[in-house]
Structure 1
Amino acid sequence: MIEVTNVQHQFRIGKKGSERVVPVLHDIDMRVEEGEIVTIVGRSGSGKSTLLNLISGYIRPTSGRIVVGGRDVTALSEGEWADFRLRHFGFVFQSFQLIPSMTAFENVELPLVLQGVGERERKRRAQAIMERVGLESLGSHYPGELSGGQQQRVGIARALITEPPVILADEPTGSLDSENERSLLAMIRELNRERSITFLIITHDDQVASIGHRTLTLRDGRMESGYSYATGGYSL
């Protein structure tokens, strides 16, 4: 489903002519199989979010190759990436990233608007997803009127609305209390089990990491051995 091969990334900082190169990721190799939940852990600054941004096409690797669903996406143009991203990925963020001037329902159906789906079909699918995440009675509320847990559920519904094969999540429970975190993790397990959705989750939380079939560790921009909860052992 996702293959990352020999990926390196570095940032250039400073003014042109006096730039300084800052290496972030070194020779990253990883593979995420269809239907897996894979969690990536590491300290702040280890390169976790950079790796997620590379996989989702928001930044390009300095070198290496990234393949998603059998397609080499390394050199896609911005326009090609925008279309690919809309059809293949759902995103869940720590800060929710909801549009405050739109209702919960409007936030959820927005990806379908961008895909050009007709209004009648959009409404039907958005209502079904809102019911799936337990927010059918809150569709007319604005994000500021919802609790943190409810806002994250709206984010989950928005990520699911296009029925993507992969959901990428960056610290999805970072803004939630313990009860809402447990609820969200249970939902991720259910969605993975019922729909075989592939999840790639960035986290620093051991509780979140434990829901993965495998957990990979980034340390100083290098991928270390991963722990498999299925086999109870470590592998490269």
Structure 2
Amino acid sequence: MDSITDLFRTLVSEHGFEFFVVNDYPISDGLSVNVTIVNKNSFDYFIYFEIDYEYLGLIESDIQINLATKFKRYLQEIDVPFEISHYFEKNTYLIIATKYPKNTNINALFKKISHVEEDPYFFKKQIFYYFDEELSEIKVNDFDVNYSDYFNSVVSNIERYNSYIENNDVEYSFAIKMFEKFPFLKLKITENELLNLNQMINDKLSKKNLELIPKLLSLSNEKLINEWIESLGVSN
């Protein structure tokens, strides 16, 4: 995948959304971007574009005011292949991708993103932050693959999860970030992917403890359980 924008457009298409691209739209003084407007049934809308990290501070002022007023009027004046209905004002997510510099302090990054996303005005907002190496780590080589299904399989794979916890699996980290930041993505877990909690517990218990389980389950009230616990202390 060449860019995060290409990936985003592929994902929305896989989910049955229509999209239309407005090239070089001026979202602020001296700043123009290619805006992807996404729609499903003239009810749910997403406005997506990518900007440099240094411009994130403009989102809460110039950018979102422009999009909520001038951009909406602009869409209604041009030949958009779907209706910009009255739901646009209430049912629109603003999704902004930004590539952050490697030397960025991670706490400063999260603070800046949280400040934007928690702003209650105009749009619900999500900031998708990434760095170049994450895109290169995507291991999809088949052009016919469904990207939504692929990333779902990555996130729901317990071995990949363990690799992420232990070794910071870059592709896994990128995938879970997409499910967090792209509201239309829903994680699908099939029954055979559910964790067997009983087996996990048994794996953690010693053989001696396993032998005690039937005894504990046979006790019928709190008094008997307390007496049994006290007897363990005596026997030990």
By the TM > 0.5 criterion, same fold? no
Question: Structure 1 length normalisation: TM-score?
Answer: 0.26
User: Which has the greater radius of gyration?
Assistant: 2
| TM-score, normalised relative to structure 2 | 0.26
